[in-house]
Structure 1
Amino acid sequence: MRLSIQYYDLILLGILASLVLGFAAGALTALSTAVTVPAAALIGIALIYQTIFLRGPVSSTDDLTEEVHEIELPK
């Protein structure tokens, strides 16, 4: 089985990396982590914004008109 990394996997890694970067900046510099973590979280917010609004999981608005059918799950 071949492992592949997709766009949304990279976005999740980017969000995690921004928070780790904020913590590391607070721990390794004179700046407080109460300042650096929220500041670095802005990078994560930008990634989330781009993923949801600019490059969403649908190709076109026609994808949104498909009817969803209910499935029965085994008990």
Structure 2
Amino acid sequence: MSPKGTTRFETIAGHQVQFDWKEGINFKTKDNQMISLNIGVLLLSYSHFIIMQVTMNKSSDVLFNLLTQAFELMGGVPN
């Protein structure tokens, strides 16, 4: 028997956006200093259009700024 695949959930255009954090990505700078970065990822479900922003933290101010900029870039918010 083959394993069951992931069930796809289809949406119509403009009706759904997903947001997630890619957290704690460690980098070493040219000065040999370790820094931890986060990437906010916003995905339009229908078109798979992706907006990403690298951040040093995940505060609510950073999140609201990221969402505001993304919605302005997209020309509005999902229904």
TM-score, normalisation: structure 1 = 0.30
Instruction: Find the structure with the greater CA-based Rg.
Output: 1
Give the number of the structure whose residues are more often helix, by fraction.
1
TM-score (norm 2): 0.30
